[in-house]
Amino acid sequence: MIDFERWAELGQSLSKHKLRTGLTAFGVSWGIFMLVLLLGMGKGLERGTMTLFQDTALNSVWIGGGKTSQSYKGLTPGRTVGLEIDDVALLENLPGVEAVGPTKLLDKGYVMRYGKNTGSFQINGISAVNAEIQKLALLSGRQINQLDERESRKVAIIGARVNDVLMKNQLSPVGKTIYVGETPFTVIGVYNKALGEQSPNRVYIPYSTLRQVFDPAPTVNMLALTVSPGYSWPDLKPEAIRLLSQRHRFDPNDSAALEIYDISDEVKKVESLMSGIRLFMIIVGTGTLMAGCVGVSNTMLVTVKERTREFGIRKAIGASSADILFMVLHETLVITLAAGYVGLIAGVGLVELISQAGIESDYFRDPQVDLSIAISALGVLILAGLIAGYLPARQAVRVSPIEALRHE
Amino acid sequence: MLDIRPNHSSSLREKQIDQLKNRQLAAADALGVSFEKPIISVQSLTKSYHIGSMTVPVLKGIDLSVKEGEFVSIMGPSGSGKSTLLNVLGILDRYDDGEYVLDGTLIKPLSETEATRHRNHLIGFVFQSFNLLPFKTAIDNVAMPLYYQKVPRKQREERARKLLERMGLASRMDHLPSELSGGQRQRVAIARALVTDPPLILADEPTGNLDTKTSEEVMELFTEINHEGKTLVVITHDEEVAERTRRVIHLQDGRIRH
C-alpha cells in the first residue's frame, strides 16, 4: 500500500517535470549506448583482424626469392634469386623444420570452360604439405593430397568466384569436369578464402600437375615452411639462409636476397596492435562513462538545487528529511535504471543488427557486446546518479524550510 | 457559511477588554497560576546565528505564553527576530537556551523524526508566498500533509475535498496553482494547513502578497477558524492585520516589548 503510494507520487513528480526527467534519461541512455557501441565495434575489429590469420598455420614461414643487393664471389648485385623445387628437399633436412611445400602462381590467366560457360582465371600449383599450411577454407570437397601430387592427377580446387562464373554457383560442383584449354580437370573442392587473395578466384592444382601440363620449369614462387614444436624460426633462420645462399650463391648477410614472412611474428605484431587498440578503447570507454557520470551528476545537482523550495514545502507540511532523501534517490534510481536499460537495448540491438547484416571486411566481422561490462557500466552510472542526488539533497534538507521557502 | 463577526472596525471597548484580559493573564503568569491551558509556553529562549567566526544573537531571551484558542499576532520591524521566532515555534529550527513547551512537550531534545511528527500533527503552516507545489492540483496540494501521515488516498482526497468546498473552491479543485488567483491560492494553502486538523496554525505574513480586499477575506477566514477552537499565531508587520487579532505581541531587537 505504502509502496504503491510512493510510486504514484514518483510517477507524478517525473511526469510533471518532463524536461528534467528527459535530460537526465537522455544523458544516461546516450552514455550507455555509445559505450556499448564502442565495445561492440572493438570486438568486431579484433575478430576481423584475427581472422586474417585463420587461413594459414600460425607456425609457418613463407620464403620467396628476392634481388641481391651485395656483390658475392665476383657476382654483381641486382641478380634475381629464383627458388626451385629442389630447395624443398634442402630445407626439409634441416632439424626443426616440420614440412616444406612449394607454391607456384602462373602469371597469366587461363581460359576455362564448363559447358557453355567460360572464364579466365589464374592457376596456382601447391603441394599436399602446402595445402595443410595454407589451409584453404573449403566450402565443399577436399584438399589436395600426396597421392594427387605423386600421380600428377588432373584435379582442381576452384574458388567460389570460379564456381560462380563457370557453373553458375552450382551447389555440388565437386566431381564435375572443367576444361583448361583442352585439358580436363576434375573439381575436388571449392574454397571461399585463401591467404593473400582478395576474392576466391583462382584454381589450385597439384604442383607436379602444373609442371607437367603448363610449365615444366622447376621454379617456385614461394616455399611455405612449418616449424616443429619446440623450435622457433629465429633459431632455424641462420642455417636455412646459409643453405639457400650456398645453393643460389648470394651473401648470407644480404637481407634483400630473400623475402621472408614469419607468420608468428606477424601475429605478434597484430596482437600488440590489438592490445594497443584495446587500451585505447578502455580509455575512451572510461572517458565516455565519466562524461556520462558528470552529465548525470550535473543534472541531479541542478535538479536538487532547483527543488530546494519544494523540499522546504514538503518538510513544512510534515515530510521528514528521510522521506525527501528517499524520494530523490528513488527518482534517480528509476530514471537512470530505465534510461540505462533503454540505452543498453538500443546499443546491443544496433550491434546485433550490424552483425546480422553481415557488414564485414578484412578487418571487421561479428561485432559483439560484452554484456557484463555494459551492465557494470550502467551500475557505475546509477551509482554516480545516486551520489550526485544524495549529497546535494542531504545538504538541501538540512536547510531550514522557512529559509528555503523565503529564498525565491 | 462565513458567518463572521464584523470586527474590521475593532472597537475601543474591545481593545480595552483585551488589554484588561492580558493584564490579568500577565498577573496570573507572574503568580504561577494559569486559567487556561497554554499551548505555547516559551521561557528565556535565546538563539544566535553563527556567520563565520561571528556570533549574531537574534533572540535574546523571549518569554511568551499562548493559551489554547487564542488569536495572536507577532509584530516587529525587519531584523527583530520575527522569522527566527516563527522557525523555532514551528519546530523548523533549533534554539540555544531556555525552554519551549508545545502542547505539553518540551521541544528541545526532540530527534528529527519526532520533530517532524510533532510538526505534522500539531502545526499547520500558512506562508506569505503560499508555497503550493506548482506541479500539483489544488486538491493534491491540500492532501499532501496526509500523505506524509500515511493516510490512505481515498480518505486524503475526501478530507481535502471537504475543506476546499468549505473554502468556496469546489470548482477549482483540479486546477494547478498557476491557474488560481492569489486569494484562491492562499485559501488552498489554508486548507492545506487545516487538513491534518492541528491545534495550532502558524502564519507567516499571510496577507503580504494579497490586495486589501483579499487580505480582509483571509483575515475573516482566520477569525472563523479561531472561533472553531484553533490557536492562531500570525506574524505580520501590517498594523491592520494585527488589529484583527485578539492580542498583539511586539518584538524588537530580539526581545518582547512590553
pLDDT at position A361 is: 67
Look at the pTM and tell me if it is higher than 0.80.
Answer: no
A309, A316, A406: residue with CB nearest B125: A316
Q: Cα dist. A21→A8, A211, A333, A392, B1 in Å?
A: 16, 76, 12, 18, 44
pLDDT at position B65 is: 92
Cβ partners under 8 Å of residue A232, min gap 6: A264
Residues A22-36: tens digit of each pLDDT: 888 888 888 888 888
Residue A177, SS3? strand
The C-alpha atoms of residue A5 and residue A306 are separated, in whole angstroms, by: 24
Residues A269-321: tens digit of each pLDDT: 888 888 888 888 888 888 887 887 787 778 777 777 778 888 888 888 888 88
The C-alpha atoms of residue A223 and residue A214 are separated, in whole angstroms, by: 20
Nearest to B29, CA basis, from B68, B72, B69, B65: B65
Q: Is the reported ipTM for this assembly greater than 0.85?
A: no
Element (H, E) at A55: none
Q: Are the C-beta atoms of residues B233 and B64 closer than 8 Å to each other? A: no
The C-alpha atoms of residue A132 and residue A145 are separated, in whole angstroms, by: 9
Radius of gyration of chain A (CA): 34
Interface of A with B in 6-65 (CB under 8 A): 8-9, 12-13, 16-17
Q: Which residue has the higher pLDDT, B8 or B145?
A: B145
Residues A75-97: tens digit of each pLDDT: 888 888 888 888 888 888 888 88
Nearest-5° Cα angle at A227, A225 to A231: 155
Nearest to A286, CA basis, from A382, A385, A380, A383: A380
Nearest to B76, CA basis, from B239, B243, B222, B216: B239
Does the beta-carbon distance from B131 to A309 stay under 8 Å? yes
Judge whether B93 is closer than 8 Å to chain A, CB to CB: yes
Phi and psi at A69, nearest 5°, equal -115, -5
Judge whether A104 is closer than 8 Å to chain B, CB to CB: no
pLDDT at position B149 is: 87
Q: Are the C-beta atoms of residues A180 and A44 closer than 8 Å to each other? A: no
pLDDT at position B210 is: 85
pLDDT at position B30 is: 54
The C-alpha atoms of residue A192 and residue A51 are separated, in whole angstroms, by: 13
Q: Collect all residues of chain A within an 8 Å Cβ-Cβ radius of residue B201.
A: none
Does the beta-carbon distance from B120 to A312 stay under 8 Å? no
A309, A314, A400: residue with CB nearest B92: A400
Closest-CA distance of chain A to residue B38, Å: 23
Residues A233-283: tens digit of each pLDDT: 888 888 888 888 888 888 888 888 888 888 888 888 888 888 888 888 888
Beta pairing partners, B50 = B55
At the fourth CATH level, which superfamily is domain B12-257? P-loop containing nucleotide triphosphate hydrolases (3.40.50.300)
Domain ranges in chain A? 2-52+268-406, 60-263
- Answer whether residue B74 shows pLDDT above 90: yes
Q: Are the C-beta atoms of residues A247 and A88 closer than 8 Å to each other? A: no
